């Protein structure tokens, strides 16, 4: 339940056309084998090197697949800390989509859902026919949100299963081994191949809908932290426990209507995970509230209300929590 905070700064390559690839030593550009070498070298990009984007960029860099990284502000490098190890992903950094032409083979979109619209210019620059966009965002509506911004490419949602925390100096601390889950759809194999051999494990699941909603239950209940300004220890209170359990049961009912295969005790298990976590463990929506940043209340909480209404399922707790989270995020006042 650590702060998972996709998307802030940037990193990348020297100014060049994105389709430009280095040739093997001695190869001539007009030789068929040289062109084949170019085609076999995938161009990978990460949009939004916050906590999650930094982990993915570092995993690629360690395997010699250093990605092009785009974002909002310039930094000389990315630093990932894990146990007693430091991975440095070198710059330079790119912030202007207008400087580039061409397309990437694979794009990891790691900005928060509240920043997707701001990343539209980078998606327009980096994506074309055949580009695969792996969406590393919370929620179950990644395709609906991102597909209109990706002309010609394909969008593959992912469930992020690892906590990572952004430190005040800009480095990122990885708190457990990284793992991603993908649906069994065209494009997933491109992502699996890109991450093959790296520290980030990628699995393709026929039960992706279940996994995505299971993660959403965690994200939804974590919204209580943003409202109270407290960390995981608060779930050990009996009153908060009752509220959280009722909310999780409400969320689980909607998830099952959406096709998720959740056990009857899913809500209890999620609550116990919160209670078993270190009492000072936070979450990204709490961090955003503390920094007075927009909250992901829509994709983490309002989605329960929307989908419940579509299925005729009452969501009385959502009907109270969602307006409070929306006001905490967007005001006015």
Element (H, E) at 174: strand 172-174
List Cβ neighbours of 283 (8 Å cut-off, separation of 6 or more). Answer: 1, 2, 3, 4, 219, 222, 225, 226
Distance CA 162, CA 2 (A): 9
Length of the chain counted residue by residue: 333
Give the pair of three-digit tokens for residue 236: 């050990």
CA nearest neighbour of 280 among 177, 175, 182: 175
Q: How many C-beta neighbours within 10 Å does residue 185 have?
A: 14
Tell me the torsion sign for CA atoms 98, 72, 159, 246. negative
Q: How many C-beta neighbours within 10 Å does residue 273 have?
A: 15
112 among known catalytic residues? no
Q: How many C-beta neighbours within 10 Å does residue 155 have?
A: 24
Q: In 3-state terms, the chain is what percent helix, strand and coil (to 5)?
A: 45, 15, 40
Tell me the torsion sign for CA atoms 52, 76, 40, 105. positive
> Choosing from 61, 94, 214, 215, which is the catalytic residue?
215
Distances (CA, A) of 132 to 24, 136, 322: 26, 13, 33
CA dihedral 295, 287, 251, 185 (to 10 degrees): 80
Distance, CA of 26 to chain centre: 40
Q: In the sheet that 201-205 helps form, which strands lie side by side, from edge to edge?
A: 159-160, 179-183, 201-205
Give the pair of three-digit tokens for residue 331: 């005001």
Residues with a catalytic annotation lie at: 215
């Amino acid at each position: 339940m650590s702060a998972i905070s996709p998307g802030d700064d940037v990193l990348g390559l020297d100014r060049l056309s994105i389709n430009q690839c280095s040739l093997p030593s001695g190869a001539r550009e007009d030789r068929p084998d040289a062109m084949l070498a170019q085609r076999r070298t995938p161009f990978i990009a990460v949009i939004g090197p916050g906590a999650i984007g930094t982990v993915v960029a570092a995993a690629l860099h360690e395997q010699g697949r250093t990605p092009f990284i785009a974002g909002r502000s310039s930094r000389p490098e990315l630093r990932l800390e894990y146990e007693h190890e430091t991975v440095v992903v070198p710059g330079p950094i790119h912030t202007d989509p207008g400087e580039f032409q061409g397309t990437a083979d694979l794009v990891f979109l790691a900005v928060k859902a509240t920043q997707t619209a701001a990343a539209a210019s980078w998606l327009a620059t980096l994506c074309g026919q055949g580009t695969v966009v792996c969406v590393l965002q919370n929620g179950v509506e990644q395709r609906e949100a991102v597909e209109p911004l990706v002309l010609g490419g394909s969008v593959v949602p992912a469930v992020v299963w690892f906590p990572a925390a952004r430190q005040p100096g800009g480095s990122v601390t990885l708190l457990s081994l990284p793992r991603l889950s993908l649906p069994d759809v065209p494009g997933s194999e491109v992502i699996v191949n890109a991450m093959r051999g790296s520290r980030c494990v990628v699995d393709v699941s026929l039960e992706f809908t279940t996994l995505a909603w299971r993660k959403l239950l965690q994200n939804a209940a974590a919204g209580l932290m943003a409202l109270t300004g407290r960390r995981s220890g608060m779930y050990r209170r009996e009153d908060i426990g009752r509220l959280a359990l009722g909310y999780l049961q409400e969320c689980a009912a909607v998830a099952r209507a959406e096709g998720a295969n959740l056990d009857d005790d899913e809500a209890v298990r999620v609550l116990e995970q919160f209670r078993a976590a270190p009492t000072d463990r936070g979450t990204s929506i709490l961090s955003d509230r503390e920094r007075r940043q927009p909250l992901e209340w829509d994709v983490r909480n309002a989605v329960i209300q929307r989908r419940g209404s579509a299925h005729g399922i009452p969501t009385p707790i959502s009907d109270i929590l969602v307006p409070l989270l929306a006001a905490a995020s967007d005001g006015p006042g």
